Amino acid sequence: MPRSRVLTFIDRPSPNFNSRGSATVQFLVLHYTAMDTAEAAIQRLCDATIKDRVSAHYVIDEAGNIYRLVQNNQRAWHAGVSFWDGKTDLNSSSIGIEIANPGNIPYPAAQMEAVKALSKSLIAEFKIRPSYVVAHSDIAPDRKEDPGELFDWKGLSTSGIGVWPTPAKVDYDRSASWQDTDVAKFLSKLGFQSTVAPKVLITAFQRHFHQEVFATPATVGIADNETKARLACLVRRKAIADGIAASRKK
């Protein structure tokens, strides 16, 4: 694998943005376009004549070309009503990347390499913490499914992007007795919005962190032992990371 890749952008400026105000970039939000072609998505994301105007900072097509629609210092309109780790209105505090995919087919390797290269660059520039690299479905679980259960979050994490659970014995032991209400509590600790129905939250968690369950639809939305242990692992590591972040601020 090449050690570093020079990022080149194709500028397709969108009129759909406004000011971040006093907010700064803390999050990276990943999406799929849910459209047939990248070009159709870009046109929609640049359309100022429709009622529900939307945009994103970047679109990545199937071949790995990166289109820049909105400048990083502006507020793009990709997240909508959103919540993560106590924060709302993530449009103000995030960079949004739309990845061209209708939603039900694997992401090509060239496209994923571009996702990794752009994500790494943004994470470094804005010092985005690993647990703040999120799916649209994490921050709007009752409305959104993207970038979906075919998106390779595990592969991203091996490139140092985002978090991925590797549960230890302590995580299996600790979570074995969790009931659904406990699972909901720990999903909230991880960042999910606690007012959303537990089954919806469990499904969103699995879409990101336990994608294997989608091979058996009846198991989706049910917190099995592996789902619980992966959640326990991420919550344990988040507590450590948050502690380190808090002590650095002192």
CB 96 within 8 A of CB 27: no
CB 139 within 8 A of CB 131: no
Question: How is residue 143 written in tokens?
Answer: 């409305």
Q: Does 31 bind Zn ion (CB under 5 A)?
A: yes
Q: Give min distance, CB of 141 to Zn ion, in A.
A: 12
Question: Interacting stretch for Zn ion, rule CB under 5 A, among 7-15, 25-33, 162-170, 184-192?
Answer: 25-33
The one catalytic residue in 98, 149, 212, 226 is 98
Q: If we measure between CA atoms, which residue out of 120, 131, 100 comes closest to residue 238?
A: 131
Between the alpha carbon of residue 209 and those of residues 64, 118, 163, 187, the distances in Å are: 24, 22, 9, 12
Q: Give min distance, CB of 140 to Zn ion, in A.
A: 8
CB 31 within 8 A of CB 136: yes
Among residues 30 and 201, whose Cβ is nearest to Zn ion? Answer: 30
Among residues 138 and 146, whose Cβ is nearest to Zn ion? Answer: 146
Among residues 61 and 146, whose Cβ is nearest to Zn ion? Answer: 146
Show Cβ contacts of residue 105 under 8 Å, excluding neighbours closer than 6 positions: 150
Q: Give min distance, CB of 170 to Zn ion, in A.
A: 35
Q: What is the largest CA-CA distance in the chain?
A: 55
CB 15 within 8 A of CB 71: no
Which helix or strand (DSSP H or E) is residue 170 part of?
A: helix 169-175
Among residues 27 and 178, whose Cβ is nearest to Zn ion? Answer: 27
Q: Give min distance, CB of 80 to Zn ion, in A.
A: 8
Question: Interacting stretch for Zn ion, rule CB under 5 A, among 27-35, 64-72, 120-128, 159-167?
Answer: 27-35
Q: If we measure between CA atoms, which residue out of 15, 115, 1, 104 comes closest to residue 65?
A: 115
Among residues 70 and 183, whose Cβ is nearest to Zn ion? Answer: 70
Does 125 qualify as catalytic in the annotation?
A: no
Q: Does 238 bind Zn ion (CB under 5 A)?
A: no
**Cα(191)–Cα(187) distance, integer angstroms:** 7
**Cα(77)–Cα(79) distance, integer angstroms:** 6
Q: Give min distance, CB of 136 to Zn ion, in A.
A: 3
> Contact letters (x/-) for Zn ion, 123-162, by CB under 5 A?
-------------x---------x----------------
Residues contacting Zn ion: total by CB under 5 A: 3
User: What are the respective helix, strand and coil percentages of the chain, to the nearest 5?
Assistant: 40, 15, 45
Q: Does 61 bind Zn ion (CB under 5 A)?
A: no
Q: Does 236 bind Zn ion (CB under 5 A)?
A: no
Residues carrying an active site annotation: 98
Catalog residues that contact Zn ion under the rule CB under 5 A. 31, 136, 146
